Every structure is written in C-alpha cells, then in structure tokens.
Chains A and B, each alone.
Chain A
Amino acid sequence: MQNTMQQNTPQATSPRPGEMPPDGTQMAKAANGNMSAETPRQDAQNRDAQRQNAQAQSRARDAVRPPVDVFESEQGITLRADLPGVPRDKLTVRVEGDTLTIEGEAVLDLPGQMEAVYAELRSPYYQRSFTLSSELDTSRIEAGLKDGVLTLTVPKHEAAKPRKIEIQAG
C-alpha cells in the first residue's frame, strides 16, 4: 500500500470533499525512505506541506457547517450563509471545477485571561461546499459580506436563461 504513495509531490491543496486525505504517517515514512534523493530544502518544504495539510485536515474536522438559504430566480442562484464573527479578510469563497467552497474563520474580541464557562459554538471555522450545475456562470459570481451574512449570487450563462419557444402554426 505504502509503495504506491507519491513520494516527492507534497499535497498543498486541501482534500476535496469525500476524498480521503493521504495519511500523514505514510507520507513521513515515504519521505524518510528516499532521504538521499531529497535536498534539505525539499525536506523542509515537505514538512511544511505536511503541517499545512494536517492543519487543513483538523480544521475541516472541527469546522461548523453554516446554515444556508438557497433560492433560484430566472437570473440565477442566490445563496445566503450565516457566518457570525467572520471579517472580510478571513472569508474565502472559491470555485474548483464545479465545486463551490465557502470557508471562514471567526475572530472574536477575547480579552486576556478568559475562562470559557459555556460554549454552544465550539469552533471558529466554518466550511461548506456545493456542487454547481453547468448552466451557472461561475466566472461572474458576486459575493458580499455584511454583519456576518454572506450573500453569493451566481448568474446563469446568457444562453441558459429560460426562453419561450414560439410555436409556429401549421
């Protein structure tokens, strides 16, 4: 099993939903087995990538799925997500292929020496993904964030908008 793992290409992107991310220990063993072929710089890059990957994995595990409203009109799809505590610079909206992913990190004003007494929200990470259909024009997505509410509008391709087809007589 371990021999089939890629040894020299550290995985820098976070895993797609549903995909099992590579096991960190397997990657470490593979890297050690090939020590002579890697420079110290590549080694450090591998370790960084492993750490980022491990961080991304643990964030994905702890992340909260934000509640979402999705509605469709003739123009396209509108999505609203509740992301309390997330400022604009901690929000990521990305499209990879046909998958739309929303990620955010909440930033709270926490005075020092605070002891948590009661917590209903236990993670500052939000994450949710959606699969978009092909008639949606992902290059024209618009996003707005106000008071923790993210509004995304995804228009349809011009050609995909509903058109009435005239029925010719005779």
Chain B
Amino acid sequence: MRGSLTSFPGSLFSEFERLSRELDQRFEPWAGPANIRAVARGSFPALNVGLCPDSVDVYLFAPGLDPKSVDVSLEKQVLTVSGRREAGLPEAARAYLQERFDGEFRRTLTLNEDVDPERVEARYQDGVLHIRAHRREATKPRQIAVQ
C-alpha cells in the first residue's frame, strides 16, 4: 500500500508533510508570551543564541554588510545590533525577484545577568556576525559534593 502511494512525484503524503512543516514554522515552538522586543518572523537578520558555561554566543545571519557600518552596543544586559544592508541592485535593469532585504535593521535581545560588559567581542565572517559575551566567573555552575 505504502509503495504505491509514495511512488508518484508530488504524492499526497509529500503534500501533507510539506503542509505540516509550514504549519510548524508558522506556530512558534516557544509557546507562550513573546519577548517584548521580538520582531516579526523572517526579519533580517536571523538570530541564533547559544549558551556556554563561560559565554553567551549570539549569531546574526547578515550577509553583505560593511562591518564598520554596524553598531553593536550593550547597555545593562540589553544587546542591540543595528546597521544598514545595501542589496546593491543596479538602476538600469529589469528585476524579477527581489527577496533580499535592503535597508536598515535593528535586533535587540536581553542577555543573562551574569554577562560581563567589559568582555564582549564581535567578529564578522562569511556574512555571520558572531558576538561573544563572556560571563562572570562567580556564576559558573559548580558541583556541590553530597556528604
């Protein structure tokens, strides 16, 4: 039964799979109230955050930036990244697709309280802006021995 239904291109099952994937993408997996500074889905640039024992790593997927024109600031655990991305479209040409973001952007997020504002590094490579904020020593997880 399965063999005959899945052997056609664009079969019924692949359509369902595609639909459920799109629905998953539409409804945030992080259910509940959104961050007050959250932006619309699919905003430029996309943002990923990872947590290490000694640092918080923020990745902004922003290709085609001039690193000097990007402003990264940290004020009381609120990290703000803003700048301008030029899509570089020529004047005298017929455009068919214009999906790439062109203009000013700003992403804001709140970092953990234990982040040390004096030890924040930012690096731009291959279109990814990687911001590393080191955490203060005192709050590293410590093992407590049970007597």
Binding site for B on A (CB under 8 A): 1-2, 18-20, 23, 26, 67-73, 78, 80-87, 106-121, 146-149
Contacts and interface: CB of A to CB of B under 8 A. Distances in A.
A111 B130 contact: no
Contacts of B48: 116, 118-121
A125 to B, nearest CB: 13
5 contacts: A109-B130, A116-B49, A119-B48, A120-B41, A148-B126
A20 B14 contact: yes
B53 A84 contact: no
A72 B47 CA distance: 32
Interface of B: 3-4, 6-11, 14, 30, 41, 45-53, 55, 57, 59, 61-65, 87-90, 92-101, 109, 123-128, 130
Contact of A111 (B7, B55, B101, B125): B55
A73 B52 contact: no
Closest 5 CB pairs of A and B: A148-B127, A148-B63, A67-B99, A84-B61, A84-B127
Contacts of A67: 99-101
Contacts of B90: 71, 73, 78
Instruction: Name the residue among B6, B45, B92, B97 with the largest chain A CB count within 10 angstroms.
Output: B97
B130 A86 contact: no
A114 B51 contact: yes
Contact of A107 (B46, B94, B126): B126
Contacts of B100: 67-69, 80-82
Given A20-B11, A26-B3, A71 B96 contact: yes
A159 B66 CA distance: 39
Contacts of A18: 9-10
B128 A85 contact: yes
Contacts of B47: 118, 120
Contacts of A148: 61-64, 126-128
A147 B100 CA distance: 14
B64 A69 contact: no
Contacts of B46: 84, 120-121
A69 B7 contact: no
Contacts of A146: 64
B50 A110 contact: yes
Instruction: Name the residue among B4, B52, B63, B87 with the largest chain A CB count within 10 angstroms.
Output: B63
A114 B57 CA distance: 9
Nearest to A91: B126
A50 to B, nearest CB: 17
A147 B124 contact: yes
Contacts of B57: 110-111, 114
A113 B41 CA distance: 28
A80 B126 contact: no
A67 B43 CA distance: 12
B7 A1 contact: yes
